[in-house]
Chains A and B, each alone.
Chain A
Amino acid sequence: MAASVADVLASSQVESVLDELDRELIGLVPVKQRIRDIAALLVIDKLRRDLDLQAHRPSLHMSFTGNPGTGKTTVAMRMAQILHRLDYVRKGHLVAVTRDDLVGQYIGHTAPKTKDVLKKAMGGVLFIDEAYYLYRPENERDYGQEAIEILLQVMENQRDDLVVILAGYGDRMETFFRSNPGLSSRIAHHLAFPDYRPEELLDIGERMLEGMNYRFDDEAREVFAHYLARRVAQPHFANARSVRNALDRMRLRQASRLFAQRERAMTRTDLTTIVAADIRASRVFETPATA
């Protein structure tokens, strides 16, 4: 029988998942704090259960709101793991769906479709991306409402079987919850994902490169910081996703730079280093940095 918090942590290995979360995900301080809180509650509940104290299963349905590329899906994936290690969900898999997977195209199509998805998600986490599309007030015969009702019923009655996470951009989720108060009140945890600061983006970029076996040289690192400062100000900036796309383009430029040097024998350093010129060629530097 577990007697101390450390015992439970040791037996569930949740500590390692939390550390991983801290190490691998940059920024997101409020989100991490909330995940730690939830983990703490579940650990204490486990201790309480061992002593035959009332341990009410907390409702863990969540909503993740934040701008594009702030890590909502990544965190949801981790959440499934954490909840599994803490014995809150039985299987710990993540089923990611959007409106298309839940809402049917004709009368009577929606209910079986939604139920099917719910059945697949049981024992794990159901992640509904861009959940606000489920509700379309401009069309009163839209089948989205039906999907929401089935969802509500399962979220209420089968709390033991699955955790539902709704995700989407902040402002639109707010409208969505305002028009579906029943849904909002059944979600215990509303997590807002903040935008990354430029230095966090730089860290994220370097970490991504590392994962792909590339690296910046010293000058390139500086230029990339400049690049980010300009890119953030431009429209359609999608945080980490934009960083990933930028890196992919830099790899393309690096490849064609190396490709042009036909006769040269490539060393390991040549193949892994991204230099300042690869970044400077970006469109972002064409416009003056007024914005």
Chain B
Amino acid sequence: MMTNPARRITQGQFSFLPDLDDVEIGQQIDYGLRKGFAWSVEYTDDPHPRNTYWEMHGMPMFDLSDAAGVLQEVRECRRAFPGHYIRLVAFDSTRGIESVAMSFIVQRPADEPGFRLLRQEGPGRSMRYTVQGYAADRPESQRY
């Protein structure tokens, strides 16, 4: 995550593959629906690896049987946020699991500058490290 040679953020599933097209996304959604997951669409302009909670685009979609409904929501989100990161998250509500079962990016900005590594000297010879997105330096509306 610290290095970003391909200028391409790798988070969630399939992120080392070329971007999925809508048919492939639909197939993944269908797979999740068959497993009984509830899909939801999330977006952000701050893809920091520790930024777990992205903004929700609408409610999680329970009780669906076909990918068309989820894809429609993805398209609406793309229209509203053409330059943001958008990901699909599948929630498994099985008792005892109750957590995210799948998650992958379905839209990324054209240019992804990646993250810088910040070093901070601590007491003695200790060194603290953190990462910061280059894009996150700019105000919210100008990041991507």
B68 and A158 form a contact (CB under 8 A): yes
Q: Which of A90, A112, A116 contacts B66 (CB 8 A)?
A: A90
- Chain A residues in 8 Å Cβ range of B68: 90, 119, 122-123, 158, 160-162
A278-B24 Cα distance, complex, nearest whole Å: 62
Residue of B nearest to A119 (CB): B69
CB-CB contacts of B98-126 with A at 8 A, as 1s and 0s?
A: 00000000000000000000000000000
- Chain A residues in 8 Å Cβ range of B136: none
Residue of B nearest to A124 (CB): B65
Asked if B130 is an interface residue, CB under 8 A from chain A, the answer is: no
* Size of interface on B: residues with Cβ below 8 Å to A: 13
Chain A interface residue bracket vs B: 10 to 19
- With both chains docked as a complex, state the minimum distance between the C-beta of A153 and any C-beta of chain B, in angstroms: 12
A91 and B65 form a contact (CB under 8 A): yes
A122-B72 Cα distance, complex, nearest whole Å: 10
- With both chains docked as a complex, state the minimum distance between the C-beta of A34 and any C-beta of chain B, in angstroms: 26
Mostly helix, strand, loop or mixed at chain A's interface?
A: loop
Which residues, 119 to 136 on A, are CB-close (under 8 Å) to B? 119-120, 122-124
A158-B119 Cα distance, complex, nearest whole Å: 53
Residue of B nearest to A118 (CB): B69
Asked if B20 is an interface residue, CB under 8 A from chain A, the answer is: no
A169-B89 Cα distance, complex, nearest whole Å: 43
Residue of B nearest to A161 (CB): B68
Asked if A85 is an interface residue, CB under 8 A from chain B, the answer is: no
Q: Which of B58, B65, B67, B72 contacts A120 (CB 8 A)?
A: B65
Asked if A231 is an interface residue, CB under 8 A from chain B, the answer is: no
A88-B58 Cα distance, complex, nearest whole Å: 29
A32-B16 Cα distance, complex, nearest whole Å: 53
Asked if A61 is an interface residue, CB under 8 A from chain B, the answer is: no
Asked if A93 is an interface residue, CB under 8 A from chain B, the answer is: yes
- Chain B residues in 8 Å Cβ range of A91: 65-66
Which residues, 47 to 92 on B, are CB-close (under 8 Å) to A? 58-59, 61, 63-70, 72-73
Which residues, 152 to 171 on A, are CB-close (under 8 Å) to B? 158, 160-162
A98-B133 Cα distance, complex, nearest whole Å: 50
A124 and B69 form a contact (CB under 8 A): no
- Chain A residues in 8 Å Cβ range of B63: 120
A122-B66 Cα distance, complex, nearest whole Å: 6
- With both chains docked as a complex, state the minimum distance between the C-beta of B39 and any C-beta of chain A, in angstroms: 10
CB-CB contacts of A6-46 with B at 8 A, as 1s and 0s?
A: 00000000000000000000000000000000000000000
- Chain B residues in 8 Å Cβ range of A119: 61, 64, 68-70, 72-73
A118-B69 Cα distance, complex, nearest whole Å: 8
Residue of A nearest to B61 (CB): A119
A160-B68 Cα distance, complex, nearest whole Å: 9
A161-B64 Cα distance, complex, nearest whole Å: 13
Residue of B nearest to A160 (CB): B68
Which residues, 229 to 272 on A, are CB-close (under 8 Å) to B? none
CB-CB contacts of A84-100 with B at 8 A, as 1s and 0s?
A: 00000011010000000
- With both chains docked as a complex, state the minimum distance between the C-beta of B111 and any C-beta of chain A, in angstroms: 33
Q: Which of A93, A116, A158 contacts B65 (CB 8 A)?
A: A93
A120-B58 Cα distance, complex, nearest whole Å: 15
- Chain A residues in 8 Å Cβ range of B61: 116, 119
A124-B64 Cα distance, complex, nearest whole Å: 10
- Chain B residues in 8 Å Cβ range of A122: 64-66, 68-69, 72
Between A and B, 17 residue pairs with Cβ closer than 8 Å are A90-B68, A118-B69, A119-B70, A119-B72, A122-B64, A122-B65, A122-B66, A122-B68, A122-B72, A123-B65, A123-B66, A123-B67, A124-B65, A158-B72, A161-B66, A161-B68, A162-B68
**A-B complex: 10 closest residue pairs judged by Cβ atoms:** A123-B66, A119-B69, A122-B68, A161-B68, A122-B66, A122-B69, A91-B65, A91-B66, A93-B65, A120-B63
Using A119-B69, A123-B66 as known contacts, list a sample of 6 further A-B pairs with CB atoms less than 8 Å apart, ordered by residue number in A.
A91-B66, A119-B64, A119-B73, A122-B65, A122-B66, A124-B66
Q: A-contacting residues of B (Cβ < 8 Å)? A: 58-59, 61, 63-70, 72-73
